[in-house]
Amino acid sequence: MTPRSSRWREYLQLKIDRNKFASAVGLNFVNLQPGVIEAELDMKEMLEQQNGYLHGGVTSAVCDMVAGYAAYSMVEEGQQVFTVESKVSYYNPGISDKFYAKGWVDKAGKRFHFCESEIYYLKGDEKVTIAKSTTTMAVIEAGVIKDKHDK
């Protein structure tokens, strides 16, 4: 996709750096492109649900982050992105030491972006999908919603 700002990468990176929850979970962003974000997640005990698998809430949070940053890669500088709604479908239990996530803008608009994402692990050469999401991301003009970090 064609980015809407020449400084899209710096602006996106600023937003990622301010995200405390991504670092608390240990989500590592490995590829940033306009409209497409890839990330990796190492399994750890704090991410377990009651069966010892990756918690569905972590799964949905990761989906939200890669989709949300995909949206942030496709806005003008200063614009903000907020999740309007998101649906996650859970295909398989998350039983692995390492997970891969990908989020992308499926249709970029003026008021909102339709985004999608998926999270999966590798079983030998096979890709096992844990979850897929579809998300509506609102694109908000600078200054409409205040940012705790802004002066």
Residues that bind its own copies (CB under 8 A): 14-16, 18-21, 24, 45-53, 55-58, 60-62, 64-65, 68, 80, 82-91, 93, 106-107, 111-112, 114, 129, 132, 134, 136, 138, 145-149
* Residue nearer to its own copies on the CB measure, 16 or 32: 16
CB of 7 to its own copies, least distance (A): 16
Nearest approach in angstroms of CB 142 to its own copies is: 12
CB of 19 to its own copies, least distance (A): 5
Residue nearer to its own copies on the CB measure, 34 or 68: 68
Nearer to its own copies (CB atom), residue 73 or residue 136: 136
Say which residue the tokens 């590592």 belong to: 28
Cβ closer to its own copies: 23 or 31?
23
Indicate the residue among 33 and 49 with the shorter CB distance to its own copies.
49
Task: Give 143's DSSP letter.
Answer: T
b (16+ CB within 10 A) / e for 29-63: beebebbbbbbebebeeebeeeeebbeeebbbbbb
CA 44 – CA 46 distance, rounded (Å) = 6
In sequence order, what are the residues at sequence separation of 6 or more whose Cβ sits closer than 8 angstroms to the Cβ of residue 41? 25, 26, 27, 28, 47, 58, 62, 98, 99, 100, 101
CB of 5 to its own copies, least distance (A): 16
Amino acid found at 71: A
Minimum CB separation from its own copies for residue 117, in Å?
11
What is the rounded distance in angstroms from the CA atom of residue 139 to the CA atom of residue 82? 7
